[in-house]
Structure 1
Amino acid sequence: MRRVSAGGLAALGAILLAAVFFPPASARAQTFADGLSGFTQNSDEPIEIESDELEVRDTEGVAVFRGSVVVRQGAAVMRTARLVVEYEGGGGTPGATAAGAEQRIRSLEASGGVVITSDDQTATGETASFDMAREVIVMSGDVVLTQGGNVVRGDRLTVNLATRESRIESPDRATGGGRVRGLFIPGQAPGQAN
């Protein structure tokens, strides 16, 4: 089994964020980008979105899901209060297509608290944004990444899938923040509890 170390922090966050729409990467994933490599529009897994309310503004290419939003794809689940999907192409809600029309999701904005889970991995934050064209994911506001007993905390997580770079920051020193914090259990493989 793969062991989690400070160097493997990138893989942990990437896998957690990828869980929003794509199944988790294989156990051999070693970086954020490896974990998020499925976070493209080429996944064959269906995406299921549930919410209390859905507003579609097709002329603007916007769909807004409100109230206990749950997004599932494979074993991955995201929960949030509000999800805004920007898309191009006709046909109503994202993923639905008119005859011959192709839709493409441009961006996703989750807000009101975001929890992403897949297997023993969890990522939480206040907001998450997914820029599909730039292949950039940003999670902000009290970000916590966990896998088994391993925990990383920061204020902002940025993952660039194209360059395979990731960064966890905590820039708000005025409120006592300003430091990224990690707890790594030596020798603990993913899936092992304390």
Structure 2
Amino acid sequence: MVRSVALMIALFAWGGPAAAQGTQVAFGGMTQDTSAPVEVTADQLEVNQTDGTALYTGNVVIGQGEMRLAAPRVLVVYAEGQDGGQGRIQRMEATGGVTLVSGEEAAEAERADYDIDAGTVVMTGNVLLTQGGNALTSERMVVNLTSGTAQMAGRVKTVINQDGSGQGQN
């Protein structure tokens, strides 16, 4: 009990400066092999050979290993391949309300940009991260899929449920 109270006091005391500067959180379930195959399903696809993009719209779901990303609209940008042809996926830009799930961790935001080479997902706009019964909110979150960590910035708020059920005690 004393340890829980001390943790809550530390979090609230830490919340002021941390909210302005950013908060590092463990994101262990989000480690990802960025070289794994990427599977995309959607209602519609428009391919632009000129600029090397593919626009997926309507119920878009992207899977890579254990990670799943869902959004109404995802623009896939391909790196230039050999002989000027289309190469591998360089990055993906998901918009319109995005959900990113891996294991028991989930994150929601208005937008997500996945840079496959860097192994990062940048989520912006009303970010909500849930880890079990705990929740964190911010305006921006950068997930490092290699290290399994995330950096949150922009008025960070944390809700920690002490009973582990995901609901507060009465």
TM-score by length of 1: 0.62
Q: Quote how far apart the aligned CAs of 1:163 are.
A: 8.1
Q: Stretches of 4+ moved more than 6 A in 1?
A: 162-165
2:133 matches 1:149: yes
Q: Cα–Cα, structure 1 residues 89 and 51, in superposed 2: closer, same or farther, change >3 Å?
A: same
The C-alpha deviation readout for 1:124-176, integer Å capped at 9, x for no partner, is 00000012333332100000000221000001112355788742112xxxxxx
Distance 1:135 1:48, change over 3 A: closer
User: Which residue, out of 75, 84, 88, partners 1:84?
Assistant: 75
1 or 2, which has the higher strand percentage? 2
Residue equivalent to 2:16: none
8 Å CA contact 2:41, 2:61 repeated in 1: yes
State how far apart, in whole Å, the 1-side matches of 2:123 and 2:131 are.
Answer: 17
Output the CA distance in 2 between the equivalents of 1:102 and 1:132: 16
Greater helix share, 1 or 2?
2
1:136 aligns with 2:120: yes
Larger radius of gyration: 2
Identity of aligned residues (%): 33
TM-score (structure 2 length as normaliser): 0.70
Q: Which runs of 5+ in 1 are unaligned?
A: 16-24, 26-34, 91-100, 171-178
CA distance in 2 between counterparts of 1:62 and 1:142 reads 27
Counterpart Cα distance in 1 of 2:152 and 2:33: 19
CA separation of 1:73/1:106 partners in 2, compared to 1, >3 Å: closer, same or farther? closer
Runs of 5+ in structure 2 lacking a partner? 1-6, 12-22
Greater relative CO (CA pairs within 8 A, separation 6+): 2
Match of 1:180 in 2: 156
Equivalent position of 1:125 in the other structure: 109
Q: What is the aligned residue count?
A: 144
Provide the alpha-carbon RMSD of the alignment: 3.0
* In structure 1, distance between residues paired with 2:149 and 2:102: 21
